[in-house]
Structure 1
Amino acid sequence: MARVREFDIEMAVEAAMNAFRRNGYDGTSISDLVDATGVGRGSLYAAFGSKEGLYLAAMDRYREGYALPLVEQLRQGAPGRELLRYVLVAAVDEIVRDGSREACLIIGAAVGRIAHDPQVAAHVQSTTEVLEDALYEVVAEAQADGQLSGERDARDVARYLVMTMHGLRVMGSVNPDRVSLMAVVEIALDALG
């Protein structure tokens, strides 16, 4: 007779995601994951196969909870320049609010895991491409209607904005000072033309 799982998978993945954000992949042990999730080691292995399996599930959860809602927001059709300002300011506000300085799981994975883990590399690339594509649509439309200068390629501008957003998160983990981060936002918006 098959044994029924005795824990909430979604809650366990959420708790693991937060542990990985706080400590990174290498800094989070199986014991840390057991403590964070409240789920026994054997049950975690049965559900996810390995620490890496749980990490990949946590990356999926992060994408669903953070990246995809941002993409949906970008696709709402608000005026381009205004929407880009809103998204960048919202990122700063989130960084400043995060008193624990938890890292962006995508950035942490990009820095610490993609060189030796093709599955993690695919997750990072996929999430980044979805965000870049949504930004590209906003930029291209804003260029077409004259809200942004058309001097630069819309795809290049979208990549620049992805880099700016990731850079804000890195800077914010070092020093979550709103004034400093907003200065970067203003420079980025000015660069859009």
Structure 2
Amino acid sequence: MARTRSFDRDAVLAAAGNAFRQHGYRDASIAELERATGLVSGSIYNAFGDKAGLFRAALEHYVHGFVRQRLAVFAGADAGLDELEQLYLSVLAPPLSDGFGCLVNNSIIEFGMAPGIASDGITETLTLVREAIASVLAREIGTAKAEVETMQLVLLYHGVLTLSRSGTSLEAMRAAVNATFERLRAARTQPNKQ
């Protein structure tokens, strides 16, 4: 009787997610995934079906663990503009400033929105980020101003995540983030918040 191997699923999915984040889905070979996860290809196939199954599971783990956790901390029910600004600035600081970007954002670039192995994670993340930002802005600057500002901040967020891979000056991006949030703080102090 064959012995069933056990492994820490969360650790394997985090390691696989990091490998996919660094190499992309197409360029992450099974050999690279074996090195990253510590699993042999047979274990990967037994546990996840195939490379696509491992990717789906790693992306889901990333969204439900990493993305949701960060949004809860920086854009949760009690968050204001200062906390939301830290969401952006944290991307530009270690360990996130490693030059590999975000697994979801990288998947948007690699796959677009076509139905497939990344579409559920992409759609869920875009919704989570937009709703979290909108909630903070509605509290801070009022609902009338929040809609347009939300889209601007969504664009800034995904732009920062993309440019963090490009060699663009982190300091220049920090300055742009700071300027955006200074403008929003000024809007917060104006009367007639709705």
Gaps of 5+ in 1: 145-149
Q: Note if 1:88 corresponds to 2:80.
A: no
Match of 1:179 in 2: 171
Secondary structure class of the residue paired with 2:101: coil
Q: Give the Cα separation in 2 of the matches to 1:89 and 1:175.
A: 16
Tell me if the contact between 2:91 and 2:97 (Cα under 8 Å) persists in the aligned partners.
no
Match of 1:147 in 2: none
Spell out structure 1 runs of 4+ moving beyond 4 A: none
Identity %: 27
AA aligned opposite 1:34: E
Q: 1:35 to 1:82 in 2, by over 3 A?
A: closer
Alignment of 1:48-127 (within 5 A): 48-73=48-73, 74-78=75-79, 80-94=80-94, 97-98=95-96, 100-127=98-125
Secondary structure class of the residue paired with 2:26: coil
Q: How many residues align?
A: 184
Give the root-mean-square deviation of aligned CA atoms. Answer: 2.3
Match of 1:38 in 2: 38
Match of 2:129 in 1: 131
Residues 111-142 of structure 1 deviation map (CA, whole Å, 9 limit, x = unaligned): 11245443411210111101211111110011
Q: 1:82 to 1:6 in 2, by over 3 A?
A: closer
Q: Give the Cα separation in 2 of the matches to 1:184 and 1:82.
A: 15
Query: Shift of residue 170 of structure 1?
Result: 1.5
AA aligned opposite 2:133: L
Query: Shift of residue 88 of structure 1?
Result: 2.3
Tell me if the contact between 1:164 and 1:188 (Cα under 8 Å) persists in the aligned partners.
no
Secondary structure class of the residue paired with 1:93: coil
Q: Give the Cα separation in 2 of the matches to 1:110 and 1:122.
A: 11
Q: 1:159 to 1:2 in 2, by over 3 A?
A: farther
Q: Give the Cα separation in 2 of the matches to 1:88 and 1:98.
A: 11
Gaps of 5+ in 2: 188-194
Q: TM-score w.r.t. structure 1 length?
A: 0.83
Query: Shift of residue 56 of structure 1?
Result: 0.9
Q: TM-score w.r.t. structure 2 length?
A: 0.83
Q: Give the Cα separation in 1 of the matches to 2:97 and 2:140.
A: 35
Query: Shift of residue 76 of structure 1?
Result: 4.2
Match of 1:5 in 2: 5
